[in-house]
Amino acid sequence: MDTSCWNAVIVGCTQNGYYLDSLRTFNLMRRETQVSHDSITLVSVISACGNLELLLEGQRSHGLAVKTLVDVDIRVQNALIAMYEKLGEVHSAHLVFNFCNNRNLCSWNCMISALSHNNDAKEALALFRSLDFEPNEITIATTIISVCTQLGLAGFGK
């Protein structure tokens, strides 16, 4: 089996909510084979860690991404920001966001959401105002309305 075969199983497990199976499969791949992971593998593993609220395992995956240089992949960076958000580790999410050289709208949405969901509405709004992209429905629906509600700025959210 090659990386794409392992990815099919790992990604499939993660996408269908079998997060623990995803991590077990990843660990089996690393322990029992000479097959290397790639950014697709780590995006799924990082997502599984976030959904299972496994901070230490998520940090290990982050370290593995750095060690194997896939941490520069924007998909991995966005997955890390989202994972750290779920785990309440806003500072770590911000560090990853600041490291991103090629931020996309997803990066901005993830970081604004991380701030908003962790009760830093003012910083989330400031980040929104400095957005390098045209906001989309996700930006508005999942982050800005929440931020404006937290700050009592219902008019701004419209």
Residues 44 and 7: beta-carbon distance below 8 Å: yes
Q: Pick the closest to residue 37 from 10, 75, 59 (CA basis).
A: 10
Contact 42, 6 (CB under 8 A): no
pLDDT in tens, the chain (158 residues): 899 999 999 999 999 999 999 999 999 999 999 999 999 999 999 999 999 999 999 999 999 999 998 889 999 999 999 999 999 999 999 999 999 989 999 999 999 989 988 888 889 888 888 887 787 887 777 677 777 777 776 555 44
Q: What is the pTM of this model?
A: 0.88
